[in-house]
Amino acid sequence: MALLLSPAQAGYRAALLLAATAWPLAAASVQAPNPAGIWLHDEGQYKIQVSQHAGRWRATILVIGPGVPPKDTQNPDLRLRGRDIVGTDMFWNLRWNPGEGKFTGGTLYASRFGKHIPATAWLDDANTLRVQGRVLLMTRTLTFKRTAP
């Protein structure tokens, strides 16, 4: 027995079907922004180079500003406490998450405390990068501006 629908009901059903099939395609087609380049922390504490390795993003510290300890003195690994902060990775393992519109699943190394914390990042625009670390109920967001090498 065929179910007869009014033209309005048939149109509504077709619209629902179209929306249900098109939405995942639209979400999957969100282009990942490109954060590659040199970035300067808005308070001048760090200059980093963001690059991609095997589909994951990382940032290497190029320059540190005044007030940033030059050595990794708080590292939980005693063997690494004498290493220079310059040349270490500030964050790594970030992957583009189109559903959230952010880079997620990364780790941020807070050298002042010797802590590895979960990290996310996103671009507000082509020249503004935000990196957020979260520990329990506390979050901190670092803002970077794209700069010349």
Q: Is residue 4 domain-resident?
A: no
Q: Is residue 112 domain-resident?
A: yes
Give the SS3 label for residue 14. helix
Q: Is residue 77 domain-resident?
A: yes
Residues 20-65 have pLDDT tens digits of 444 444 444 568 999 999 999 999 999 999 999 999 999 999 999 9
Q: Is residue 103 domain-resident?
A: yes
pLDDT at 149: 83
Closest CA to 119 of 109, 133, 130, 138: 133
Residues 75-125 have pLDDT tens digits of 999 999 999 999 999 999 999 999 999 999 999 999 999 999 999 999 999
Q: Is residue 26 domain-resident?
A: no
Under the banding of pLDDT at 50, 70 and 90, the label for residue 6 is low
Burial of 68 (0-12, 13-18, 19+ CB in 10 A): middle
Give the SS3 label for residue 50. strand
Q: Is residue 50 domain-resident?
A: yes
Under the banding of pLDDT at 50, 70 and 90, the label for residue 2 is low
Q: What is the mean pLDDT of residues 5-31?
A: 54
**CATH number, domain containing residue 93:** 2.40.128.520
Q: Is residue 17 domain-resident?
A: no
Domain region containing 118: 37-147
How many domains in the chain? 1
Q: Is residue 43 domain-resident?
A: yes
Under the banding of pLDDT at 50, 70 and 90, the label for residue 16 is very low
**Is this structure's pTM higher than 0.85?**
no
